[in-house]
Amino acid sequence: MGCLGNVLWFVFGGTVSGLSWCLAGCLWCITVVGIPVGMQCFKFAALSFFPFGKEVQYGGGAGSFLLNIIWLIVSGLPLALEHLALGTALCVTIIGIPFGLQQFKLAKLALMPFGAEVY
């Protein structure tokens, strides 16, 4: 069922979410200092392309907290707002609710990506 969900997700909206994470990663990789942040964006782009069957666990320490604050100011809010808007639009219909919930999972990840691990 997860494979079918991922295929439908990719065709009907996952590409937009994944490409926005890729764009954020490319922008962060412009500077040498931002390359680790950009690599994290590419990792989460893969999750955004195919989110069904994967879980996100949050952890981390003070370093992750400081990096999350910088991320939130620079790139986190636009990505989170995009995921929230898409999730809200998808939850209008009963069929779209599972896809909307995946968007909300990605919105939370867009707010706090550092210290998060995908399983």
Q: What is the pLDDT of residue 13?
A: 81
Q: What is the pLDDT of residue 88?
A: 96
Gap between the Cα atoms of 56 and 15, Å rounded: 20
Reported confidence tier of residue 6, pLDDT bands at 50, 70, 90? very high
Give the tens place of pLDDT for each residue, 30-42.
Answer: 999 999 999 999 9
pTM of the model: 0.90
Gap between the Cα atoms of 41 and 14, Å rounded: 15
Asked if pLDDT for residue 18 goes beyond 80, the answer is: yes
Gap between the Cα atoms of 87 and 102, Å rounded: 8
Give the CB-side neighbour count of residue 75, counting CA atoms within 13 A. Answer: 23
Q: Per-residue DSSP letters for 9-28?
A: HIIIIIHHHHHHHHHHHHHH
Q: What percent of the chain has pLDDT over 70?
A: 100
Give the tens place of pLDDT for each residue, 34-78.
Answer: 999 999 999 999 999 999 989 999 887 888 888 899 999 999 999
Gap between the Cα atoms of 116 and 93, Å rounded: 30
Number of C-beta neighbours around residue 99 at 10 A:
22
Gap between the Cα atoms of 82 and 77, Å rounded: 8
